Structure 1
Amino acid sequence: MVLMVMRAGDRLEEHAAPGANSLGVREGSVRFSAAGEVVEAGPETLIACDPGVRHAVEALSDAVCLISVAAKSGAEIPK
């Protein structure tokens, strides 16, 4: 898990993760875009994305999010 803190207007440019991933909004609000869909999410919202799907995140206000990416069984997790 990774704790991500963003200021209003910050953007995580479009990218893809190798495993299933989720973004849990703890504080603030974000705009999550993936596969032609756009979701605005606030506190206590969990967004999930399949492996390899390109997505981006933009902070609509100062925001705190938890990001999780699933590793394949037996895969070594980078340190």
Structure 2
Amino acid sequence: MKGSTDTEKDYMKCSTDTEKDYMKGSTDTENDYIKGSTDTEKDYMKGSTDTEKDYMKGSTDTERLHEGKHRH
């Protein structure tokens, strides 16, 4: 059992090293991909947030005017 255990350890170690390299590679790729899509999403979100800010600002201005008329 000792002999087979050593062999299994070496085998497991080798496959783990290979998996680490493989995972590292795919993780790097995923990081770049995620980063890319995140940058795009940031720009998109920023754009929509700016639009929403303008829209909200506009509707708030409208509501203020509307409320102002009712108060008088």
Structure 1-normalised TM-score? 0.16
- The structure with more radius of gyration: 2
More helix by share: 2
**Greater relative contact order structure (CA < 8 Å, 6+ sep):** 1
State the TM-score, normalizing by the size of structure 2: 0.17
